[in-house]
Chain A
Amino acid sequence: MNALLKLSRRIDALTERVGQAALWLVLVVVLISAANAMMRYTINYSSNAFLEIQWYLFGMIFLSCGGYTFMRNEHVRIDLISGRLSKRGQTWIDIFGILFFLMPMAIAIMVLSWPVFIHAIESSEMSNSAGGLIVWPARLMIPAGFLLLIVQAISELIKRVGFLRGLCPDPTEKLNALSDEEELALAIKAQKGEAQ
């Protein structure tokens, strides 16, 4: 079990790194899109490569952050029922969900999308629009993103089993220390304090 917990920590570190890197794509894609709109309007220049890179990056953001968001426990849940259960009960739900909900669908998507990527490489598939980009990087993102999600799910599974056996702290606890809203409230209060 200890070896598994160690593995889980490794996975978490990897996911953290991927997530932290992918964050910057948000800024990049915002700037590209704004520049694109501005250039088209001012100097009447536009290219399909410019437009396509935007959704490549968009896909990269959400596919590479799938595992990261799962680690942060921020995929939306309906906690109408589970919210009334004990911490252990919720942990059991997660274990069940990872094994029977997440894993089958993530593995199915990863396995099915791999040949599509291979085909795109072998046929050097290009986007259909003039001046568009080569397609395989976008095709690769799907199996890669779901692989990251699967790997993170393994780590979450280990942590939850560890929690049930009393070997590690509740994996969801420390993340909920301060919600986004509480953080915003603190920031506004601080600003008000400055102003007075």
Chain B
Amino acid sequence: MSEFLIANMAPIIFASMIIFLLVGFPVAFALAANGVVFGLLGIELGLLGPQLFQALPDRIFGVMANETLLAVPFFTFMGLILERSGMAEDLLDTIGQLFGPIRGGLAYAVIFVGALLAATTGVVAASVISMGLISLPIMLHYGYDKRLAAGVIAASGTLAQIIPPSLVLIVMADQLGKSVGDMYAGAFIPGMVLTSLYVGYVILVSIFKPKWVPALPLEARSLRGAALALRVLTTLVPPLTLIFLVLGTIFLGIATPTEGGAMGATGALIMALVRRRMSLSLLKQAMEKTAKLTTFVLFILIGARVFSLTFYGVDGHLWVEHLLTTLPGGQIGFLIVVNLLVFVLAFFLDYFELAFIIVPLLGPVAEKMGIDLIWFGVLLGVNMQTSFLHPPFGFALFFLRSVAPASVKSSDIYWGAIPFVCVQVIMVALIIIFPQMVTVGLDKPSTVDVNSIQIELPETNYDEPAEEPGSPPEPVSNGNRG
């Protein structure tokens, strides 16, 4: 019995992790418990040294001292403040009026606003709910096909997952040991391409099924001419300012992504104050949600670190590597299997779990196969974004259901999402076929990074021995930059 256990420890731990997770107890604790139980068993069997758990406090300390993940509460807080500041509503109203009289115009407006919101907030729930409450009734009123309307809203909401500054990309960069700035730069063009593919789908619909996307009569506009033009310009100011505050400062190298998040959050606060949408209860609500989200995300990461302590201790990563490198078809075989795996797992797990459990196992294998990790991260990011659209568990569909009028059936939402899931699959294929989409954005910043790393390396020496590759200690390098 114990021989069998020793020989197959890694697969057994992996299988039992899945069972532990499925029990339905919070993921963070189940993961950590799995690590502790098998760690003890491994020590008992002589597979692991008795000092195994001594590394635990340092692992958690490493999670705390992780400057990259500090961006998670910043962007969450920014999104929560923005969702109440009225920006989404103004944009949808104005852009809807602008595009409405074209065939398919309201759908284009939803996609355009979805992309703009994605580049500022990065919160799927907020985008989908605003669009579901504001655009969906108008679309239905003017005779848009229910399924198309629902699908386009849900899909545009998920753009927040892939267009920078998204939380997915932050976590992905952290787990792959790459800089968030590079991950953002790499995801930028694919995000734009994906947005265009959505637009392309609506164009096809307006050609082949014009009745699904009628043009609005001009009378539907409450503003016209110069007044409309002025209104469009003024509504675009707040999101563009925020995009500059966040992405502009990051891409120009003025701020780190973490600081970009803090500046964006401060900007959002000021905007909400100016618009008189700020109140103490709103502030407290936003802080509370941010604290809770940060807590559960970081606890999943702690759980994953405890799990990996044992799993790596019994050479589980080598087992995974062996499984994946012996796949037929080399790189392409690996990519296909990995993408299918993530696609299927995304039905059950959300992206934090995927990113903390699966990605650290895949990253080193991908690197050994000569795959660029930024590209790999963006690829997986698009793939995981799809999980928000999977019927019937996709979060975006769930959020839309909660605000859609009763005349839109759940099946309408599911069917509406399916063409967009197909678009997503096409996008994954495109990224594989044209990796330049990701790498083009990277050339310049990466040379800068190489230089600065060389200068700063001697000083970044924390006395933390067992840091995982995911979290390079960054504070010092930032301090020296000015």
Instruction: Tell me the count of chain A residues lying within 8 A, CB to CB, of chain B.
Output: 85
The answer to whether A62 and B294 have CB atoms under 8 Å apart is yes
The yes or no answer to A113 lying at the interface (CB within 8 A) is yes
Q: How far is the CB of B261 from chain A (nearest CB, A)?
A: 8
Distance between Cα atoms of A79 and B77 in the complex (Å)? 27
B residues near A45, Cβ cutoff 8 Å: 482
In the assembled complex, which residues on chain B have CB atoms less than 8 Å from the CB atom of A112? 53-54, 56-57
Distance from A125 Cβ to chain B, minimum over Cβ atoms (Å): 8
Structural contact, B295 and A62, CB atoms closer than 8 A: yes
B27 touches A105 (CB 8 A): no
Q: Are B133 and A80 neighbours in the complex by a CB distance under 8 Å?
A: no
Contacts of B374 in A (CB 8 A): none
A interface SS class = helix
Q: How far is the CB of A173 from chain B (nearest CB, A)?
A: 17
Interface string of B65-86 (1 = CB under 8 A from A): 1110110011001000001101
- Nearest Cβ on chain A to B114's Cβ, whole angstroms: 16
Inter-chain contact B287/A78, CB cutoff 8 Å: no
A97 at the binding interface (Cβ < 8 Å):
yes
Chain A nearest CB from B60 CB (Å) reads: 5
Within 8 A of A (CB), among B325-367: 348-350, 352-353
* A23 engages B291 (CB within 8 Å): yes
Interface check B284, CB cutoff 8 A: yes
A48-B476 contact, Cβ under 8 Å, with A55-B64, A139-B61: yes
B209 at the interface (CB under 8 A from A): no
B27, B290, B306: the one contacting A26 at CB < 8 Å is: B290
The verdict on B134 contacting chain A, using a C-beta distance below 8 Å, is yes
Chain A min CB distance to B264 (Å): 9
Best-buried of A37, A70, A104, A181 by chain B (most CB within 10 Å): A37
| Known A77-B24, A80-B348; contact A187-B84, beta-carbon cutoff 8 A | yes
Shortest beta-carbon distance, B395 to chain A, in Å?
10
Q: Once the chains are docked, how many angstroms separate the CA of A176 from the CA of B335?
A: 40
* A4 at the binding interface (Cβ < 8 Å): no
Q: Looking across the interface, which residue of chain B has its beta carbon closest to that of A45?
A: B482
Question: B174: which A residues are within 8 A, CB to CB?
Answer: none
Chain A residues near B373 (CB, 8 Å)? Answer: none
> Shortest CB–CB separation between residue B406 and chain A, in angstroms?
14
Give which listed residue, B33, B299, B353, contacts A62 with CB less than 8 A: B299
In the complex, given contacts A139-B57, A195-B89, what are 10 additional A-B residue pairs having Cβ atoms less than 8 angstroms apart? Answer: A19-B288, A33-B261, A37-B249, A46-B481, A51-B67, A55-B66, A94-B25, A128-B463, A142-B57, A188-B130
